Chain A
Amino acid sequence: MLSDITIGQYYKAQSVVHRMDARMKLILTVLFIVIIFLCKNFFSLAVMFVLTAVSILVSRVPFRMFFKSLKPIIPIILITAALNIFYVKKGTELLSFWKISVTTGGLSTAFFMAVRIICLIMVSSLLTYTTVPTQLTDAIERLLSPLNVLHISVHTLAMMMTLALRFIPTLIEEIERITNAQKARGADFESGRFLERVKAMIPVLIPLFVSAFRRAYELSFAMTCRCYHGGEGRTRMKQMKLSAVDFAALGVFLLSLAGVIVLNRFFQAMI
């Protein structure tokens, strides 16, 4: 049933990660990306790998969910790995044919890069799996609020994101409804060449736009009626509060950062 669409990829569960402040999760995700790019050898990378694994375990989001988000990235991982194998020439040569040679250095660099990308994907999926989209837009709004000084209306942007999230399922349902209605009148979306198919979409697109504008118009009325007048003087029901868990998590990440820096200095750099 189409009404079963879930916005974003939130995975409902009771866990420490789910309870964390969205702002902290956002900051930590960015911090994680920075640290993992600081890793210079397998020892420091191992620290981040362990951090990723622990975060996933604590989140109670099943591993298959992460595999799902990893799936579309696999080709990219493979291509990067291949490039590294064939272009990095360090260490002992393992085999060579024609103009190509594979070295131990190439293999380990490829492995290093792959682990790095996988950790990156996992941690950013963790953010979206454990945080409701509206909390994310809220967090973005609050974290970026200093930009208001530069006359950038962060509130407006966040409101637009929230409304987009709210109306995506509605519009998807609408597309299905109109498509069915036109199919019932014999519209053919499946055959013909590319241009013909694009043309066949017109009977769906026009009603869709007409309806989207009507919705936008009615929504703006409804928002005005509910006293919406921009971000000024607006309060929020849900206050974002940093709790002990958030600071503990920050502590763990900062320790990992320290660990990475130390291990980078004590062991030889790989890349």
Chain B
Amino acid sequence: MRAFIEFKDVSFSYDVEDAQPVPVLQHFDLAIAQGDFVAILGHNGSGKSTVAKLCNGIEIPQSGDVTVNGMNTKEEENLLEIRRHVGMVFQNPDNQIVATIVEDDVAFGPENLGVEPAEIRRRVDQALRDVGMYDLRFSEPHKLSGGQKQRVAIAGVIAMQPACIVLDEPTAMLDPRGRKDVMKTVQMLNRDFGITVLYITHFMEEAAKANRVVVMDKGRILLDGTPREVFQHDDALRAAGLEVPQATELSLLLKRDGVPLSGSILTIEELSRQLEELLS
């Protein structure tokens, strides 16, 4: 698979008034393959949100290059095209909805792109059906739950028909039910539409559902691999202010005592199956 988004030797720091700029990323390399589902884990301040903002040219690296589908984010004339390809969903659902009616909000992106009205209508209806919000298309956003608002935000992105969607802690402010709905929607977009997903989170159970997990610490990549590989490194993760899924944690404790559990375990079901054999 070819890389859809590529970070090459990227360094980025924030300017601070009357002080030294704060370095966030240093010589950072990352390639996101087309169609992949990549989770980025990291504690607050590890630089993971900056990665999101670099993906569509909201921030521009001080050195190095970020390319999207071969287009460099440094070139102003690429930006509109890049943003059409890479949609963004942020943490706070309230602060990304612009219209007072759900369907009008979903139409906002295509309208900005100058899409024909009839085509916008078609895309808006489809996007709302895809995220399961069609029945609430005439609602006022402030009357929706957090999870519903976040799904409206996702519909607003897919109505732009992007190749990739970057979600920056989309479930951090939601209740468990909203979290599940959002995660299911994102998995569906990846699986059924082949949309590349970059999912930033600090919920381990969510990251475990990705194809690939990138763990960031102090602006660098600490671990990178499939969830099964990454979550084996429980000590490194804890040192980086993170944790591992509880099923993995328990299996690692038992394995270290020589209990013959095979493979790396991610879910409660997997652990239960293996323990059943050992205990009966």
Contact = CB atoms under 8 A, between A and B. Distances in A.
Do A and B associate with each other? Answer: yes
A229 B84 CA distance: 12
Given A166-B98, A227-B160, A221 B90 contact: yes
B38 interface: no
B123 to A, nearest CB: 9
B83 A225 contact: yes
Interface stretch (B26-34, B136-144, B228-236, B262-270): B136-144
A133 B88 CA distance: 28
Q: Is the interface of A mostly helix, strand, loop or mixed?
A: helix
B229 to A, nearest CB: 32
Interface in B99-124: 99-101, 103-104, 107-117, 120-121, 124
B109 A226 contact: yes
B175 interface: no
Contacts, number: 104
B138 to A, nearest CB: 9
A30 interface: no
Contact of B111 (A6, A165, A225, A237): A237
A73 interface: no
Contact of B83 (A169, A227, A235): A227
Contacts of A218: 90, 92, 95-96
A57 B241 CA distance: 66
A234 B109 contact: no
B142 A237 contact: no
A236 B98 contact: no
Contacts of A233: 114
Q: How large, as a class, is the contact surface on chain A? A: 35 or more
Contacts of B58: 221, 224-225
A258 interface: no
Q: Is the interface of B mostly helix, strand, loop or mixed?
A: helix
A4 interface: yes
A235 B90 contact: no
Contacts of A148: none
A225 B80 contact: no
A169 B97 CA distance: 13
Contacts of B80: 227, 229
Nearest to A232: B114
B61 interface: no
Interface string B62-101: 0000000000000000001001100110101011111111
B156 interface: yes
Nearest to A222: B96
Contacts of B88: 222, 225
Nearest to B124: A237
B50 interface: no
15 contacts: A134-B104, A165-B100, A166-B99, A169-B142, A170-B142, A173-B142, A221-B58, A221-B90, A226-B112, A226-B157, A226-B160, A235-B110, A236-B120, A238-B107, A239-B117
Given A222-B88, A227-B80, 18 more contacts: A134-B99, A162-B98, A170-B94, A218-B92, A218-B95, A218-B96, A219-B96, A221-B53, A222-B96, A224-B58, A226-B112, A226-B160, A228-B108, A235-B111, A236-B111, A236-B120, A237-B104, A237-B124
Q: Which A-B residue pairs are the 7 nearest by beta carbons?
A: A222-B96, A237-B107, A218-B95, A237-B120, A225-B88, A226-B109, A227-B112
